[in-house]
Each structure stands twice: as structure tokens, then as C-alpha cells.
Structure 1
């Protein structure tokens, strides 16, 4: 593996170090549970979100939809970003980002931004949505997971049950020395949609091939909640949706599609990579 040296890490944890303008080297924090040399979803989502926002973001526009297609397992090697501005309209902007490893595209993302404006007249239906977090947060870890059956804890294994799940996350930095923006925090936290919808009694047996995060507004604080709304599965295919929350209420939605992966099922009660459960 070409992961960057833990001994060189800064005081704040991070997923990548930037070695050139468009080249990033994964850290140990970017590793996933799916294999000995696999990168995790939040790291990849965070990198494309950050790259797109830095290149095409505009304070007069809201980054309202990010769709990330995870083509194949990304690994701990130098990762290159490739960008394209698809449309630069007055009200709608569209852009794309690819993550390339060893000459092969492993991730492709599309970003839709809408110009901020006044709302239309009238009132619309709004789904009732509440998120009740843990009584105490572990500021040192930055995560908590809850389920209707087991309440809140900091161990995923406590929630290998068939009840509704929720996740509270303060994301780590995507790139060493560069704090995450509100948009990047929301995109990374939304990747937890896969965890809260696909975690069952035997762990996680579906691997998501994508993530779509849709935002009505940006989060106003660092901690972001992700609460499962639906999980539908048939013939080894699963679809999961979740609502995203900050301290003031709902801010948007996450959706993942996933495929059964029983050969590499992650049983957190018998965690093959306990050092990666951060």
C-alpha cells in the first residue's frame, strides 16, 4: 500500500495528503472494512465534494445535489482528480469530477448547483421529521450510532439488529491541514446512509455502488445526524434513504443503491479491522 505515514500525521485526523495540485495520497483513516487495501466511502465522497466546490463553488449558488458513482474499489495509492464544467448557467450550474488511480477511473461524481433566490408564494407539505441525538457526545471520537432497539452508543456492533438506525457524525478533514466546508461535511456524513439502512442482525452485507445527497440548505454546525427513512431489498439489491439533520432540523436527504456482498460481509461483532472503526 502507498498510504501516507501515520507518524507524519498532523494533530487533526485526515483522509488524504495533497502531494500535487491534483494528486492526493490516502492516509490510514481512509481505509475501509471491505478489504485490506480498500478506501472508505466518506473519504472518496469528501474528496470529490471538496474538489468540485473549490473549483466551481459560488456563494450565490447552493450545491444542492451531489451524485457519486463508485465504479470499483479504490485503493491506497496516489489518487488524481479530473474536473469538467458541464454547464455554467444563470440559475443552474453542472460540473463533474473523476478520481483516477493508476490510469483507471474509480469514482465519478456530478454536482448540481442552484442559484439562491426568494421562495415562491404559498405553503407546501413538509414531512414531519425529528432527530433525537445522544444525551452526551464523545467529542474525542466524533461519532455515535443509535437504533430504536439499543439506544445510543459508540460501538456499531451494539446495533446489529433489525430496528431503525441513526448516525451522528463530526467528519474528519478530507485533506491534511484544510478544515472541511459545510458542504463537504454534509456530503461525507450523508455516506452514512449506507450504514443506517444496510446494517442488520449479521452486520453489513450490502456494498453501496453510489451515493446521492440532496440539500435544501447547508448545515450550520459540525455535527450532522443521518436517520434511516426506508430500506427496500429484493434478489440481492437494496435501496436505502435517510434524512440529514443539523442542530436546527432537517437539511436534506441521502440515497444509496447497493448490491449483496456476502463473501466480504462486515460483522462488527467480529471486526476484521478493529483499528479502522473510528
Structure 2
């Protein structure tokens, strides 16, 4: 197993860059399914690398999961420009994997607005209260209730610092950083690092046991008002539930200087079947 979520296998494949996934991507819900965080980070990598312009940056990224993303050595990622512009551009990216018939099909897509730089230093402000510092957090393994301590999943690929009980507190707060690279041999960019962590907001403050409930998110929507700095990503999140199996997780992302982004995720909530 590599010390990265993915390995680039073929940069010149006609379908797009081809990657192989490591065990670090495995979801809590199934050993055959990827967690959305590495998937979204790899899509962000494609968005950043498409016709890069140093005078621009991503301002909003929407990731939609079209179904379970398989853990496989056949993943293709490609990007294109949907809406060109001197100051505003809209980019798309997609990930493909073999379907039931073996033919590649889209399993996740992303869209992103890319804005041109403009000096607004005098306006720098956010009303969001900062997270308590990293030094106040405590290391914690967050999935003891499903007895996965000996199994490799995405959860174990992060270094955690809990500021409160992130499964039950409202809002839930923690710091986290990836212990592995996104792609073998490549340093993480600030945006890629942000997205390797962002998806953990799903389920924070859930007050639900993963042994009794499924709460799968189908998307990840992140608006980034400031490019993050440093190795750690802070998350403050809460989960809202309706009475008909639909939930929404909502959160704020931080670096050591303060908030950098806001996010929302739609959830499908289901009680696990208990077989006597």
C-alpha cells in the first residue's frame, strides 16, 4: 500500500489521467466504496491543473457523487472549460470507473468557478468565530463504535485533534490533516489539502451511531473565500435532519488564521437493517 490515496498510472490515457486507488480511500460504509474526501480532492486536482492561470483561483466547488465510487486500479479523471472568461471561468471535471459491464462510466463530477485575482485586502473580514487552537485538541480515533481499529479506511488516513465530542456535540469541532499524499510523489496544494478533509463534516454532530444508521452524502458544496494556509484544516459542523430520511450537514472550514470556507452536504439517512 502506498503512502497516498492514489497513484498516477497513465497520464496520457485517452479517457483522462488514469489512477489506481489505495486502501486509504476506503469508506466507513463499505470496503468496496471510496470516501468522498479523496474523490473530491482528486477532482479538485484536475480542476486546478486544467489550463492553469496564476492570476486566478477556485472560488466555489460542487462535487456530485453519481453512485458508489469503487476502490479500483482503473479510475480516469479529466477536466474541461465550460465557460471561458477573462475574469470568471466555469470548469468541469469528472471521474470515471468501470461499470457492471466493464465499460468506463462517470461516478463523480465536479464544477468550479474560477475567479481572477483582485486586491481587496482592505476588506479582509469574516464574522465567524475562530476555532480553539490546535493545541487544545486531543488525538482521537473516531470510529470505535464500529470496531474498525484494525481495518484500514479513510478515517485512519487522517491525524485528528478533537476539540469536543465530534459525533454528538452541536456544533462539532475538530482539526485534521492527511497523513498521506493525494497522489504518489506530488505535494498537496492548499486546495487539495482542504478537500482531503472537508467531507468529514458529513456526520459531525450527527448524534447517530454508524452501527445503527447510514447517513451517506451525495454531494459536497464548498465556497472558499480565502486560500487556506498550513497543514491543518479545522472543521466546525452540525447536522440537520428532516422526518423523512433527508438530512443536511453544514459547516465552516478553518486554518490557524481563521475561517476559509463554508460548506453544505445533502444526506440520505437510513436505519440499518438488523438481522436477528
- 1:35 equivalenced with 2:30 (yes/no): yes
Does the 8 Å CA contact 2:254/2:260 hold for their aligned counterparts? yes
Residue 228 (1) aligns with residue 263 (2): no
Over the residues paired in the alignment, what is the CA RMSD in angstroms? 2.5
**Structure 2 counterparts to residues 97-116 of structure 1, below 5 A:** 97-102=93-98, 103-116=104-117
Q: Judging changes above 3 Å, is the alpha-carbon distance between structure 1 residues 131 and 24 closer, same or farther for their aligned structure 2 residues?
A: same
Mean CA deviation greater in 232-241 or 210-219: 232-241
Shift of 1:263: 2.8
Q: Equivalences for 1:88-127 in 2 at 5 Å?
A: 88-102=84-98, 103-119=104-120, 126-127=126-127
The CA distance in 2 between the partners of 1:229 and 1:163, in whole Å, is 6
Call closer, same or farther: CA 1:134–1:39 in 2, change over 3 Å: same
Partner Cα separation in structure 2 for residue 255 and residue 160 of structure 1: 17
* Map of 2:42 onto structure 1: 47
5 Å matches for 1:252-267? 252-263=261-272
- Contact between 2:77 and 2:96, CA under 8 Å: does it hold in 1? yes
Aligned equivalent of 2:160: 143
Cα drift, residue 187 of structure 1? 2.1
Using the size of structure 1 for normalisation, the TM-score is: 0.79
1:189 alignment partner, SS class: helix
Deviation at 1:146, TM superposition (A): 3.5
DSSP-derived class of the 1:195 partner: coil
- Aligned-pair CA distance for 1:174: 1.1
Moved over 4 A (4+): 123-126
Of 168, 171, 182, 1:164 maps to 171
- Quick check: 1:57–1:63 contact (8 Å CA) kept in 2? no
Label 1:257 to 1:136 Cα distance change in 2 as closer, same or farther (>3 A): closer
Unaligned 5+ residue runs, structure 1?
Answer: 1-5, 151-158, 266-278
